[in-house]
Structure 1
């Protein structure tokens, strides 16, 4: 299986997503600073919170709309609206005019666009791929996302303050290109049954759709496990980062003396660099392990690694454990996402993807809670709590893995009867 064997929708989305995230990473990680400068830190925090909740709410609507009206239609509407938002942000941060209020309003519009397009985009990638393709597809996507975010973030750190107008100009151009690609080169992957329904009937159908999603026991358990495992990843910039800055004494590393804050930065860089390098080879490494075995053991080492980071102050132990958990991460992500792709039925795929999109927000909530707990309990107790969270997710995956294999095998059988042709 090679990149050129993918459906053209997948090729276009991977290239386009890399370009958009590369430029977006120069801007959006630093927008909290922008808001704090213009509105104050307290108001900025509230504004960012509003953005998050708007995105969550629209995410559910986006999932429903993509199942009812088709993936491409919703994606095109969202990308066109996103271009207008970015263009307005560019104008409002130009040498001739500045408006932080309008800029924030357009940030909210961008959150709405993410909520609309996200489930449709994920569902389309599943629509036009076969189960054997998905591990490679998700590996390439994960690699591209990490690389674009890493490079974009570094460049943005130097350009954001003095070249914001130029960055928004580049983002507007990238957004316009994306909208044109969706309009003229992306194929519709799902044609829903055309039902003439009133707004009230749509509300009832939306509620019915998500009630069906919540009644899928396998999906709910898989999502809960995913939330618990993903919350490990956010510990580094929450509890672990705070603990290192407060507890870790300065110590020699190679030719330098580094403190806890610097250690956290180096650990994040180690993780990103290893993900980018290892993802190039991970699908080519031969092994005889079943996917369920890979998933469970990778989650186990992932959890052990973050528990060690929550306890140790030895710089070499920290770097070794980061290496171990990163190896677990690069094995876990493609397998986990390929299982996720096999769970939803065709006619509710976007709705499932919308609900699955909550994993990020719920994981952040858990990671934020550990910060509060860290002010009460010792680092050894916190390491135990973090380990328990990760191992609980691992055990859930172990228990449901036979059912996951069965669901995926059923999908593969249906795909053989109705194959997807690569373009």
Structure 2
């Protein structure tokens, strides 16, 4: 099946693997870096600003991808990343160190990702058919999870003591991904679909996103995705805080062994590892199994299992039940991620794929906000209230998505 994929897809999966491997070796630990070099409060502000810059860049990057081409933006993004890593290397060398210039380099890398990711996502849709998309997204998801796992493990061991050497490796990896992008990726945008009145200016940008705001079907689908993704971000917010309280540092019995020293945070990391290993090990068989089945039905099953698994994690104090719930939510994730991505590719306007995929970024950003915001009201509703909240998010995700995909919800009201 993999051999049947378009060369661009194979190249993009390989490039994405190397790129995420590089980024996950360093980006998860930048909060530690800035807290140490400046202070905790400033570190939080800088990292939030970095997220905002990447999001704004993606809004414009999606628009550009529909007008100047996918490949050009992907190449630009890779070169900007090379420059960003080169600057980080220079200002974190044994001779000179500057956290502020490091932050500016991070902003450049954020812009590069904002520009390249929507173009890359649109390119995948351009060169794939509906029959292979579920498999394509499954393999891409598998590769991303594997690369992030490897990168975080390497970064966790080496970041504190070998930052300079790591940055050398990241620069080399970035040069490799740039070369692969130039050598292997071909342009997929059909320039004949671009109207003579279309430009890359602000007015054209606003016109494009105005069209999306009138696409009722896509907006409902996006809101459904936000509801489901807000569940996932409970892991590093409410669930992590609760497990830290329930399991203070001490000796516990685990897997038949007694007197094992761990705490809630370590337990959460093990649960996350189980989730990641299931994604890595079972993506391929699930992708083959889903391929010839009704995608919508199994997407809804995935939503439900995902919500149930996380709801159980939010309320149980049993280690065994936590591991069982992690298996359940992992199965849900294996079912819903490729099916939702495949259906998303079907409902976007083929003339504005870059813009639509950039707008789809709202799913992750708003999901993160809801996940973080849950910490505000969680003390008032307790763990059982949070369990119900998570189940409601899953139900809302299913309801909004099903409404969006009803045959009657197909009309797109054009701009006034």
Q: How does 1:191-270 map to 2 (within 5 A)?
A: 191-193=190-192, 202-248=201-247, 251-254=252-255, 255-256=257-258, 257=260, 258-270=262-274
CA shift, 1:164, in A, is: 1.0
Measured against aligned partners, the alpha-carbon deviations of 1:327-353 in whole angstroms (never above 9, x if no partner) come to 111011110100011111221000000
1:344 maps to which of 343, 348, 362 = 348
Deviation at 1:197, TM superposition (A): 7.0
Asked whether the 8 Å contact 1:227–1:363 carries over to 2, the reply is yes
How far apart are 1:261 and its partner, in Å? 2.2
Query: Retained in 2: the 8 A contact 1:310–1:382?
Result: yes
Kept after mapping to 1: 8 A contact 2:15/2:181: no
Q: Does 1:296 align with 2:295?
A: no
2:327 matched to which residue of 1? Answer: 323
Shift of 1:289: 4.5
Q: Deviations over 1:70-123 (max 9, x none)?
A: 111111112111111111111111122211111110001111111111110000
1:271-318 deviations in whole A, cap 9, x for unaligned?
A: 111111111311233797511110111101111111111111111111
Q: Deviations over 1:100-159 (max 9, x none)?
A: 111110001111111111110000011011111111110000000001101111111111
Match of 1:375 in 2: 379
Please tell me whether the aligned partners of residues 303 and 394 of structure 2 are also in contact (alpha carbons under 8 angstroms).
yes
Match of 2:98 in 1: 99
Following superposition, the deviation at residue 406 of structure 1 comes to 8.2
The alpha-carbon distance between structure 1 residues 135 and 405, as it changes in their structure 2 partners (threshold 3 A), is: farther
Instruction: Work out the CA distance in 2 between the residues paired with 1:143 and 1:125.
Output: 16
Once the two structures are TM-superposed, the CA of residue 191 in structure 1 deviates from its matched residue by: 3.6
How many angstroms does 1:262 deviate by? 2.4
Contact 1:310 1:383 in 2 (8 A): yes
Q: What is the alpha-carbon root mean square deviation over aligned residues?
A: 2.1
Alignment partners' CA distance in 1, 2:376 and 2:172:
42
Judging changes above 3 Å, is the alpha-carbon distance between structure 1 residues 287 and 93 closer, same or farther for their aligned structure 2 residues?
Answer: closer
Mapped to 1, the partners of 2:227 and 2:51 lie a distance apart of: 20
SS at match of 2:132: helix
CA contact (8 A) 1:23 1:167 kept: no
What TM-score, normalized to structure 2?
0.93
Consecutive unaligned residues in structure 2, runs of 5 or more = 412-416
The residue number in structure 2 matching 1:178 is 177
Answer yes or no: is the 8 Å Cα contact 2:53–2:111 preserved in 1: yes
The structure-2 alpha-carbon separation of the partners of 1:286 and 1:296, relative to structure 1 and needing over 3 Å to count, comes to closer
**Aligned residues between the structures:** 405
Determine whether 1:310 maps to 2:314: yes
| Cα distance between partner residues in 1 of 2:284 and 2:296 | 22
What is the Cα deviation at residue 44 of structure 1?
0.3
Say which SS state the counterpart of residue 94 (structure 2) adopts: coil
Q: TM-score by structure 1 length?
A: 0.91
Residues 1:283 and 2:282 aligned together: no
Contact in 2 for aligned 1:29/1:153 (Cα 8 Å) = yes
How many Å separate the matches in 2 of 1:306 and 1:401?
Answer: 25
Whether 2:272 is the aligned partner of 1:271: answer no
Shift of 1:51: 0.6
- Give matches, 1:86-165, under 5 Å: 86-165=85-164
Query: Is the deviation greater in 52-61 or in 249-258?
Result: 249-258
Between the aligned partners of 1:66 and 1:397, the Cα distance in structure 2 is 27
